Amino acid sequence: MRSVLEPNLIAQTTEGMKILIEAGADVNHGRDTGFTALFSAVISGQIEGVRVLLEAGAQVRDVQGVKLAGCAQGKQRQQIIAVLERAISD
C-alpha cells in the first residue's frame, strides 16, 4: 500500500502533504517494496516535495540496492541530488 502522501506528489502539490504530515502521517511509510513518498518525489523530480518530506524527517535510504540520489529525474535533478546530499551530511 502506498503512502497517503503520494497522491499529493502525483497532483504536484505540497500543501496537502503538509496538512497530512501535521496530522501525523508517517513520512517514512513504505510500500511492501520499501519505496517511500520520498523515493516517489525523487523519481518524479519534485524538489519541493523532497524538501517538505526531508524537513518532516523523511529518511534518505536506498531501496532494494537502488541508490536514491541515482533515481533523481527531471529538470531539477541536480538540485534534488544536492538536497539529498545535504540531508545525508546533516
23-59 pLDDT per residue, tens: 898 888 887 777 888 988 898 888 999 999 999 999 8
Q: Would 1 be classed as within a structural domain? A: no
CA–CA separation, 53 and 60 (whole Å)? 10
With bands split at pLDDT 50, 70 and 90, how would you rate the model's confidence at 73? Answer: confident
Number of domains in the chain: 1
CA–CA separation, 83 and 26 (whole Å)? 20
For the chain, the maximum distance between any two Cα atoms, rounded to a whole number of angstroms, is 32
CA–CA separation, 71 and 74 (whole Å)? 10
Q: What is the pTM of this model?
A: 0.82
Rg of the chain, C-alpha, whole Å: 12
With bands split at pLDDT 50, 70 and 90, how would you rate the model's confidence at 7? Answer: low
Average pLDDT over residues 65-71: 79
Residue-number span of the structural domain to which 66 is assigned: 6-89
CATH code, domain with 41: 1.25.40.20
